[in-house]
Structure formats: structure tokens, C-alpha cells
Structure 1
Amino acid sequence: MITITILSLAYLAAISFRIKHVKFPVLELLTWNIHIVLMVLAALSLLLMINGYGFKGAQTDRVILTLYAASGLFLYGISKPEINARYYYLAGLFAFPFVLLIGLILPFTRTLTILVALSIYGDSDYHRYKIDDDFAIQTKSTGILTRYPVYSMVEDKYWFFEKVTPEIIDPKAAPQGIKLTKRGNDSVRIQLVTSKGGTLSVGGTHAIDTVISLKQGYLQ
């Protein structure tokens, strides 16, 4: 709920500033500088995500994108109406929720709009299980969008970045217990106990016991 909370507060602040015709030239200039930095980081985050990378930390990319949008909404609230590309750009950020609202009203775009809205505003639930200083297993659940968690391999890369390889295993269940045992320098043994949906029956529960390459994330 952090994403929707931050964006809702920024949206309400923007509406309040517009109604009261509040003007803070110094604050506007400072916020523009912050917004430009966040814009660059947001563009880099999207480029990294397309290629399977991201900034270190499970929620770092989402926080960057959220603060980018929130700073744009804040700027719209304290900016005076002008006929230029910069103002229309801010107005576009402000109008985006209304576009989603129209999409919800139209029957033929309702499903797609719900998926987009949940992807943008819904926070995912992440858990990371450390293998060593460079690798970890991550589970990610996204509300009603994913019935079961997505299991990914996370590898530290290049100081501030990490590589995420999704769906290294697919037990179709949430983990009840997980044991990771590193084997040599290039593989890890994953012993996963789940409540349902595993491949092996172990004492009334279900489990997965497999070895995965650390570099490619492939089953061995």
C-alpha cells in the first residue's frame, strides 16, 4: 500500500495547491531539479527491467518510479498554467488516473485497465533467502495477479545493480520452509517445503529438492 499512499498524498497536495493558487518559486525550482534526477533514474530502471536487471533491493525500482510520479504531481500543483511542453507534460501525469477511470467505465477496456492499475499501484510482496554474498532466492507475490509466488534467482552485479532470473523453479505454492545449500562455486541445492502443489510428498506436506546453477538459473 506504500505506492498508492504516496501517490494519493501527492495527488491531494496537487489538488489543494491548485485550488488555493499556491506559488512557491524556490520550491518549484528545487522540485524540478529533483524530478529531473528521478526521471533519469526511472528511465534507467525501466531499461534495466526490460533486460532483466534492476537497482539493488527488491523494492528500489518501484520506489524510484513512485517518487518520480509523485514529484510530477507535486510540481503540477505548484506550477502556474502555461502553454508549453513542460506544463502539458505535468498535466499528463496528473490526468493519468482519469484515463484509468475512463478505461474502467468502458466495457471493452475494463479488464486491461484493471491489470494496468494493479501493476502500477499494487505493491508486490517480496521475500529473499540468502545463498551467499552474491546470490539469493527471491519470492514475489502480486495480489490477485499471481496465484502463486514467482521464484527468482537474484545476483549482485556492478556495484549498484542486480540481475533477476525469474521462474527458476515452479512449485505452484507458497514456501513453508526453504533450505539453501551451496555446492561448490557454481550451484545451489534448494530444498523447498510447501503446503500444497509440490512434486514430492514428504510427511504429509509437499517439497522440491533440486540443484540449480547459480550463473544461469537452470535445473541440473
Structure 2
Amino acid sequence: MITIYILAICFLLALSFKIKKTNMPEARLLLWYTHLLFACLSALCGLLLLNNWGFRGSNTEGVIFSLYAGTGMMLYGLSKPDTSARYAYLLCFFGFPVLLLVALLLPPSRYIALVLILGFLFTDEVTRHKIDSRFSLEAQSTGLFSYFYDYNIVESKLLLFERKKPDVFRTYSQFRNVHMSKTGKDSVHIQLECSRTTIDTTIALRNSRQSSRK
């Protein structure tokens, strides 16, 4: 939910700046460089995610993307209207939530807008269980319309990054109890109790070979 709070605060600040016609050139310049920084970080996040890498933390990428969009909204609020490409670029950040709110009021597009808004509000639920100082098991739902949980193995790499081994298994209900024990240097035994089933599996931490009993 932290991403929703960031976007909501940035949108309200941008709206306030625009209504009050705030003129702060120094703050606008600083915010522009901050926006460029988060734009570069967002591009880096995208490249890392394509290769199952990421920054450390279960929601770091979401915060970075939110700050990229949020600083764009605030820059729009501090900018004077003109016909430049930069102003049109900033308008996209502020205009998207406004467009959703307008669509919510119109009967033909109301249901589509409602689905999009709920999809943004109910973000993925992520829970991590530590295996050792380097590895952890991550359980991730897929948002509002999900009825299953995907489990990933997360390995801490270098200083700021981590690598995921995605979709090692899937459950169709939320887990209740998790028991894990290392069975060797590169494998872990996992017992997962769900409301509908019990999973007993051994997973290799550094390769895809896996044996399981359900």
C-alpha cells in the first residue's frame, strides 16, 4: 500500500500547486533532477526484472516506479502551461489519474475504470520467509483477482541487488504454516500447510531440479 500513499500524496500536492499557481523555480529544478534520477532507476529496474534480478526488498521496485510517477505529477503542478514536449510529457503523469476519475463518472466507461482503479489499489501481497542469511522463500499473490500464490526463491547478491528463481511452485490457497530446513549446502526442504493441501518439497537453491510430494 505504500505505493498508493506515495502516488496519492504526490497527486494532491500537484493539484494544490496547480490551483494555487505556485511558482518555485529552484524547487522545480531540483525536482526535475530528482525525476530524472528516478527515471534512470526505473529503467534499471525494468532491465533487472526482465532477467529475474532486482533491488533488495520485496517492494523496492514499486517504490521507485511510484516516485518516478509522483515526481512527474508534482513537476506538472509546478510548471506553467505551454506547448513544449516536456509539458506534454509531464501532463501524462497528472492526466492519467484524472482520466480515470472522469471515466468513473461516465456510464460507458465506468466498469473499465473501476477495474483499473481496483487493480491499482489492491497491489500484490508479498511475504518472505528467511531460509538462511543469503536465501529466502517469497510468497506472492497476483493482486485483486488472484486466487493463487506463486513461490519464489530469492538470493541476496552483491550489496544492493537480489536474484529470483521464480515460480518454484504454486498454491491455490493462502498458506498457514511454513517449515523449512536446509538439507545441504544448495537445497532446502519445505513443508507448507495450506487450507486445501499440504506441500512437502525439496528445492535446489541454485538450479531448477526439484522433487516434491503432495
Q: TM-score range by the shorter chain?
A: 0.7 to 0.9
The alignment's C-alpha RMSD in Å is: 2.3
Shift of 1:106: 7.8
List alignment gaps of at least 5 residues for structure 2: none
Shift of 1:110: 5.0
Quick check: 1:38–1:64 contact (8 Å CA) kept in 2?
yes
Runs of 4 or more off by more than 3 Å in structure 1? 98-111, 113-122
Give 1:197's aligned residue. Answer: 196
List alignment gaps of at least 5 residues for structure 1: 199-206
Structure 1 length-normalised TM? 0.85
Corresponding position: 1:38 with 2:29: no
Cα-to-partner distance string for 1:112-138 (whole Å, 9 max, x where unaligned): x66654554433222111111221101
Amino acid at match of 1:172: Y
| 3-state SS of 2:30 partner | helix
Corresponding position: 1:79 with 2:79: yes
Give 1:204's aligned residue. Answer: none
Corresponding position: 1:215 with 2:206: yes
Shift of 1:99: 4.0
Amino acid at match of 2:92: G
Measure, in 1, the Cα distance between the counterparts of 2:155 and 2:103.
38
Corresponding position: 1:89 with 2:80: no
Structure 2 length-normalised TM? 0.87
Measure, in 1, the Cα distance between the counterparts of 2:154 and 2:9.
33
Amino acid at match of 2:185: N
Q: Tell me the number of residue pairs that the alignment of Structure 1 and Structure 2 aligns.
A: 210
Cα-to-partner distance string for 1:75-107 (whole Å, 9 max, x where unaligned): 111111222221111011111124445666586
Give 2:127's aligned residue. Answer: 127
| 3-state SS of 2:129 partner | strand
Shift of 1:142: 4.1
